[in-house]
Structure 1
Amino acid sequence: MELRSDYADDFRASQRVLGLGAVTMWTATFQPLVFRRTPKLIRQSDPEAYHLSLVLRGAGGGVWKHRETEYKPHGLLINSTSLTNDVHSTEDLGTTLALEIPKAVLPLPRSAVGRIVGAPVSTQEGIGALLARLLTQLSADTTAYQPADGPRLGTVFTDLVAALFAHVLDADDSLPSETHRRTLTLRIQAFIREHLHDPHLAPATIAAAHHISTSYLHRLFRDEEITVAAWIRRLRLEAARRDLADPALRAARIHTIATRWGFPRATDFSRAYRAAYGTTPQEHRQQAFHGHG
């Protein structure tokens, strides 16, 4: 970004960054500042992420090709690293809580991105309020959390942001049918993440919970180039992989972890794990704890 400030000769700012797996969160306090993202800068480097800023103190505005918006305390500003923009703060010391989430975990069709970025979002009710409360609580005190909690919290934030995006898009009646399909897919993916522990999680139960046919559910996932069952298996393997390397679960038996994530048969778990990661669960656990007493 290009940064400009009338206080450049004696600029004051502070920032605290928390790594939450693939997600990054930070708190920032700064004097009036202009953040500019130009076509040249985007060509030079694009991390391809969505950026959400909860304004705690200060005011300002944002300008994109498709929209201009103002923000004030308790407002939530949604941005994209892939879009040219000009965001500015106007008060002496602004304070924001920010999230940066890779687009890969929140895929949206191109037609929907413009409707999300800069869209007004309430943090006084609904999903926006939940997201704002979690951001505020986490930034206020991180002492109760262990390093291994970071990726788990990143997953929680990803699910909340996916639900928020789906809510914003649902509220727009002018959206094309393809975007509504994408929104439904986001909702279904969030539902699957929430119910990964459920041994009865299957295409039929997922379809029933969303009042669609199983065949339509399979068509939605055909667009994702992966089957529903394969997507569930991948998420469960990723969750088991995290638990196997979690120091807090070091004493837990591998079979207990596998069963928790929907693999009651040890041979099935070991075969699927090796196919996905090229190593056995036992080998991965030994590597994770190598050198840790």
Structure 2
Amino acid sequence: MVLVLDTADIPERDRAEAVRAAMLTATPACHLQHQDSGSSPRARIDLWHFGDAFLWRHDGTGMRMTRTPTHIRRDAPETIALALQEYGRARRSQAEHTLDLGRGDLLLSDLTAPYDYVWSGLGCASALSVPYDRLGLPVDLVRRAAPRLGASTLFPLVRQHLATLTRQADAVSCDGQAPAVGEASIALVRALLASTDSEHRDAAAALDDTLPARINAYIEAHLRDPELRPAVIAAAHNISLRQLYRLIQPPHTTLEQWIVTRRLAGARADLARSQERRSITDIARSWGFRDPSHFTRRFRGAYGLTPREWRRLTTEERAAS
């Protein structure tokens, strides 16, 4: 993670200029204006790299970002940004489309075209930036997709992926698999855009190419569901079990065991964090294990400790540190 800016460490008289300079580090050239008169701006801006894609998050007081034709002539990266409005309300105008955004809405911005984006009061948005040449989609398809995202069946899946990636960005960006996560994220964005225009000549190929990434994202989104199993995954993607097993081949294990392993890892992390605030049974069920005894056996088989022993060990280590 790169902490681009935290105005908590900056004197109030210098914050407006600091926010302006930081935003121009994370985004292409634009005109920035503080929206909340009578108060100094507050902001925290974080930036993470995932191979060819990067994620940035801006949490702070109201602002307006206007990108004009002059800005584009001076600084025109061939990039799109898919943004998630985490909280607060915003409005974005680009081309002939104006969108009002609230919590959980997705926004596609084409950074090669003018736009106006504004929010008042406190707000927060995270955005995944992807180079156009990595999308493998024509510009006309991408631009037509912008106002249609909400109608896509992939919208909830991509929204959850972006939200999860933002929550886990610190850990994931430091992992050796960060570029692979970036590739998967680009594939999901490509699939989302292609799904808004199924009649376009490039859309079908894009959806076929991104099917493995979509299946992996589906598994991640439904990992806590006790009904998640290969037959359900195959049916959700209109493919046979044989096709599923051909497309998704976890190394050195089966798909079923891979799902269990990921659930156990999630439960292990929750046990370490929650101390005694949540029961072991509650945590087990929240990760898709209906039978607490079965969960205990699988956990001990994976980690050599029972869930109770693991929780006690992590509690003792935390108290000693």
> Normalised by the shorter chain, which TM-score bucket?
0.5 to 0.7
Secondary structure of the structure 2 residue equivalent to 1:162: helix
Shift of the alpha carbon at 1:120? 4.4
Q: Distance in 1 between matches of 2:170 and 2:54?
A: 18
Per-residue CA deviation, residues 204-241 of structure 1 (Å, 9 max, x unaligned), is: xxxxx99xxxxxxxxxxxxxxxxxxxxxxxxxxxxxxx
1:87 to 117, 120, 138: 117
Per-residue CA deviation, residues 125-145 of structure 1 (Å, 9 max, x unaligned), is: 842222222222232234653
Q: What residue is the counterpart of 2:133 in the other structure?
A: 104
Per-residue CA deviation, residues 94-128 of structure 1 (Å, 9 max, x unaligned), is: 11121000000113323323312243426xx8422
TM norm structure 2: 0.53
Q: Distance in 1 between matches of 2:185 and 2:43?
A: 26
* Correspondence 1:184 to 2:174: no
Distance 1:118 1:38, change over 3 A: farther
Backbone CA RMSD of aligned residues: 2.6
Q: What residue is the counterpart of 2:187 in the other structure?
A: 159
Distance 1:23 1:143, change over 3 A: closer
Per-residue CA deviation, residues 150-185 of structure 1 (Å, 9 max, x unaligned), is: 101101101111110111122xxxxxx6xx111122
**Structure 2 unaligned regions, length at least 5:** 1-29, 216-237, 240-321
Q: What residue is the counterpart of 2:266 in the other structure?
A: none
Question: Do the aligned partners of 2:188 and 2:214 also contact (CA within 8 Å) in 1?
Answer: no
**Structure 1 unaligned regions, length at least 5:** 171-176, 196-208, 211-293
TM norm structure 1: 0.57
Where do residues 1-293 of structure 1 align in structure 2 (5 Å cutoff)?
A: 1-7=30-36, 10-90=40-120, 92-121=121-150, 126-142=153-169, 144-145=171-172, 146-170=174-198, 180-191=200-211
Count of residue pairs brought into register by the alignment: 186
Shift of the alpha carbon at 1:26? 1.8
Secondary structure of the structure 2 residue equivalent to 1:139: helix
Question: Do the aligned partners of 2:48 and 2:169 also contact (CA within 8 Å) in 1?
Answer: no
State the identity %.
22
Q: Distance in 1 between matches of 2:85 and 2:213?
A: 29
Question: Do the aligned partners of 2:85 and 2:103 also contact (CA within 8 Å) in 1?
Answer: yes
Secondary structure of the structure 1 residue equivalent to 2:196: helix
Q: What residue is the counterpart of 2:278 in the other structure?
A: none
